[in-house]
Amino acid sequence: MAVDPRRTALALGRFGLGARPGDLARGEPVEDILRREVLAGTVPLPSGPDLAATPTLLSALQAEEQARKLAREGASDAPIPEGPPPPPLPERTYRAEVAARLALAQAASTGFVERLVWFWANHFTVSVARGPRLRVSAGAFEREAVRPHVLGRFRDMLLAAATHPAMLIYLDNVASVGPNSPAGLRKGKGPDRGLNENLGRELLELHTLGADGGYTQADVTALARILTGWSLQRDGNAEGLPGSTTFRRGAHEPGAVTLMGRTYLDVGPGQLRMALDDLAAHPATARHIALRFARHFVADDPPPALVARLGRTFIDQDGDLSRLALTLLESPEAWDPVQRKVRSPQEFLVAALRGLALAPDPRTAMAGLASLGQPFWAAPAPNGYPDEAGAWASPEGLHARLDLAARAGQLAAGTDPTALADAVLGPLASDETRTALRRAESRAQGIALVLMAPEFQRR
């Protein structure tokens, strides 16, 4: 198959994280490269000295908070270290997690697998805005609950996400107690001991069936009852460190529960697995996932034929997410030459770094994403960051992008703007964009013009 440079440029923006210098000159059809990445089944794991397992991080946070409390009360005999104190653990961990993601994004061949990770991490949102425990564990949640399953089965990712400590904390399931459980019936129970429906509601509305998936309030309550008892270890023991996921039998609502017309016997933790397996295989879940997947990669209002095809694949392949990704690549609608999607702030920042071959600085990147309104793992609500142009193409958002593009132009002022346009846009660069580059007053301005060109802002 002859290599079409326009198709290559389109694919690296639409499915990947943007072209790097030399990427558009590859002699292999981009479809083959993308398919090979999926079929390899490899999802890179972030690495770094400050990246640890969630229970380790939560235990270290607990120890740090206790030490600070003792120091404030004057009860600590520990010597006072010289010099400024190190940043608190939540900030150190969050910065390390961001740095590791940026390094993976910069090194990725096309970035398609990384984009899949970003999509699923946003689908199963947890937010660092909920406090220190989420700030240390949100990155670990992506590493532990999302990445291992991005090219695997949806049902496995669903169970891993629903029972991960970060999700249990984020949606308040750690304090959810079955009304008729021993803990719920115990005298002198605290005011927080009751049934919490947050996780049950979001599992149905956001993670599986969708808002129009046919469930009722009774189903929300039923799933919340099934989820009771799923909590965290408070103290270290043979079962794990403080912060490990545990199933507290004494807090679990006893008895069978009927959810979406099916009855699940009280068989302990297996009750949740059976319920989530059925939700993962539900036709409404297939429709919901297919729509979100197509909307993310192709268009805010995706072609119905594409959504239907993705939904059929999801059902026929038993939620195999690698097959879902391959179906996207094999669908003609996904290759529409019109660039209909506006790059999100994260996509824009990473594409700029890749195109300019700039080594990502975590602090600068964090500040830039904060100004653009999309820090890593900080969505304002459980439905995640929006996936439509209206959320990112506002006058304020475009002004923030212009500021970032101008700073990038200054950092890479030695880069020839025309060469940059050839490297990251190639045949996608319009005559208007190339005319503007010729009229640029400086290289820095020319670079900013490339980054703000409609062909770069859209994918």
What is the extent of the structural domain holding 175? Answer: 54-71+89-280
Note whether 144 and 214 are same-domain residues.
Answer: yes
pLDDT at 80: 61
* Distance (Å) of CA 343 to CA 42, 155, 360, 433: 25, 29, 19, 18
Specify whether 261 is located in the same domain as 404: no
Q: Which long-range contacts (CB under 8 A, 24 or more apart) does 408-413 make?
A: 408/352, 408/356, 408/358, 408/447, 408/448, 408/451, 409/443, 409/444, 409/445, 409/446, 409/447, 409/448, 409/451, 410/444, 411/356, 411/358, 412/356, 412/358, 412/447, 413/442, 413/443, 413/444, 413/447
Cα distances (Å, whole numbers) of residue 275 to 7, 115, 223, 254, 261: 43, 29, 8, 15, 11
Q: Is 355 in the same domain as 452?
A: yes
Place of tokens 């392949």: 317
Whether the Cβ atoms of residue 149 and residue 157 lie closer than 8 Å to each other? yes
Residues 313 and 364 in one domain: no
Compute the chain's Rg from CA coordinates: 24
Task: Tell me how far CA of residue 63 lies from CA of 50, 58, 246, in angstroms.
Answer: 16, 9, 20
Question: Does 260 fall in a domain?
Answer: yes
Do 330 and 356 lie in a common domain?
A: no
Tell me whether residue 359 is in a domain. Answer: yes
Final residue of a domain: which of 335, 353, 375? 335
Position 371 in a domain = yes
Residues 117 and 172 in one domain: yes
Number of independent structural domains in the chain:
3
- Residue 9 lies inside a defined structural domain of this protein: yes
The per-residue pLDDT string of the chain (459 residues; one tens digit each, 9 = 90 and over) reads 678 999 999 999 999 999 999 999 999 999 999 999 999 999 999 999 999 999 999 999 999 999 988 888 776 565 666 667 789 999 999 999 999 999 999 999 999 999 999 999 999 999 999 999 999 999 999 999 999 999 999 999 999 999 999 999 999 999 999 999 999 998 545 445 699 999 999 999 999 999 999 999 999 999 999 999 999 998 755 556 778 999 999 999 999 999 999 999 999 999 999 999 999 999 999 999 999 999 999 999 999 999 999 999 999 999 999 999 999 999 999 999 999 999 999 999 999 999 999 998 999 999 999 999 999 999 999 999 999 999 999 999 999 999 999 999 999 999 999 999 999 999 999 999 999 999 999 999 999 999 999 999 999
Residue 80, domain member (yes or no) = no
| 39, part of any domain | no
Smallest CA-to-CA distance from 303 within 331, 339, 327 is with 331
Together in a domain, 241 and 106: yes
Pairwise CA distance, residues 87 & 400, whole Å: 28
Q: Residues 155, 188: one domain?
A: yes
Are residues 294 and 366 located together in one domain of the fold?
A: no
Q: Both 307 and 185 in a single domain?
A: no
Give the burial class of 435: count Cβ atoms within 10 A of its Cβ; 0-12 exposed, 13-18 middle, 19 or more buried: exposed
Q: Does residue 130 contact residue 170 with C-beta atoms inside 8 Å?
A: yes
Q: Which of 104, 141, 107 is nearest to 124 (CA)?
A: 141
Predicted TM-score (pTM) of this structure? 0.95
Co-location of 12 and 102 in the same domain? no
Q: Does the residue 84 lie in any domain? A: no
109 shares a domain with 255: yes
Q: How far is CA 455 from the centre of its chain?
A: 25
Q: Residue 317: inside a domain, yes or no? A: yes
Distance, CA of 456 to CA of 428 (rounded, Å): 9
- Residue 330 token pair: 């094999």
Write the single-letter amino acid at 103: A
